[in-house]
Amino acid sequence: MMNSGELNSLISLLDDMDEEIISHVTEKLLTYGQDILPLLEDRYLTEPEKSVQLKIHFIIDKIHFSQLKRELVQWAESGGNDLFEGIYLVSKFRYPELNKQSLNNQIDKIKLDAWLELNFQLSPLDKVRILNYIFYDLHGMKGNSENYHSPDNSFINKVLETKNGNPISLAILYSIIAQRLNIPIFGVNLPQHFVLAYRDDSKLKTDNSYKGNAYLNYQTGGEVIFYINAFNRGAIFSKWNVDQFLKQLNIPSADFYYLPCSNVDIILRVFRNLSFAYEKLNDHPRMDAIKELSLLLQPYALII
């Protein structure tokens, strides 16, 4: 473990004119990983030289990104079962110090409000009507039509803060809450849109406890009985509507346009949205970083 004296000695070399020395010092600091983040952050705040400060910031960002890549692969390798974990990791790309428990608490607040209204003997349609009331009316969630391509629409912390999101971020939040209430609602990877599917829950064991599940497997339940448009205040539609949508796009129908997809596929779709958002902003460094994260996930995807 490096102490502050050793760190300061190395950082002083970042002011050297020799690029080879700067590169060597940078690589040396990166090998210490997260262990030296507190020391680096303290030094960043007190560093008087702007050029050195920028180099420290670069090293901090590289350490955060390396850690994010490890966590993302670990999540995918373990099955990517927890969608909340996946979308939390997406948010850490832009907000590396994000408090995971705080996010969980905000989501559980919405879940509790829904649980207090739900009677688990209700029909699927009635459950969705209650979820819609809680999600859109009580908590004010809505589609961000005015700033549709903003990168913040893809970060769950910003969606919860602003109550604005794009189709996939709203669908992710909606499905996380539903699954924690033992309601089998999952994402469907439609082209040019992202929607939700409600699987037949008639044979699922009823869970009236608030604790419920952390998540459900996307194959839980029976056949899909209807679809939900999270971007349009939870509007309900049928398979026929999906048929017509695909026909308008001149896209041949395929099972994966009608059935729930894996969480890894969902996060890959979020990354594609983010890449497009950064492209519109001409932010090529972040585009490249998102591409790198996407490539890490692709071996674990079911839909390429």
Query: Could you list the pLDDT tens digit for every one of the 304 residues in the chain?
Result: 666 677 777 777 776 666 777 777 788 888 878 888 888 888 888 777 787 788 888 888 999 999 999 999 999 999 999 999 999 999 999 999 999 999 999 999 999 999 999 987 899 999 999 999 999 999 999 999 999 999 999 999 999 999 999 999 999 999 999 999 999 999 999 999 999 999 999 888 776 666 677 889 999 899 999 999 999 999 999 999 999 999 999 999 899 999 999 999 999 999 999 999 999 999 999 999 999 999 999 999 986 5
H helix intervals, the chain: 4-12, 19-30, 37-46, 50-77, 83-94, 100-117, 124-132, 156-162, 167-180, 239-248, 263-280, 284-297
Residues ≥6 apart with Cβ < 8 Å to 7? 29, 36, 39, 40, 43
Q: Please name every residue paired with 107 in a beta bridge, in sequence order, or none if there are none.
A: none
Contacts of 289-292 with C-beta under 8 Å, sequence gap 24+, read 289/65, 289/93, 290/93, 292/69
Do residues 275 and 292 make contact, with C-beta atoms less than 8 angstroms apart?
A: no
**The two three-digit tokens of residue 85, written as one number:** 């974990």
Residues ≥6 apart with Cβ < 8 Å to 65? 93, 289
- Tell me the domain boundaries of the chain: 4-77, 83-300
Q: Please name every residue paired with 227 in a beta bridge, in sequence order, or none if there are none.
A: 197, 237
- 2.40.160, 1.25.10, 2.60.40, 1.10.260: CATH of 4-77: 1.25.10
Q: Specify the pLDDT at position 56.
A: 83
Euclidean distance between CA atoms 277 and 290, whole angstroms: 11
Q: What is the model's pTM?
A: 0.91
**The two three-digit tokens of residue 186, written as one number:** 């999952």
Do residues 91 and 156 make contact, with C-beta atoms less than 8 angstroms apart?
A: yes
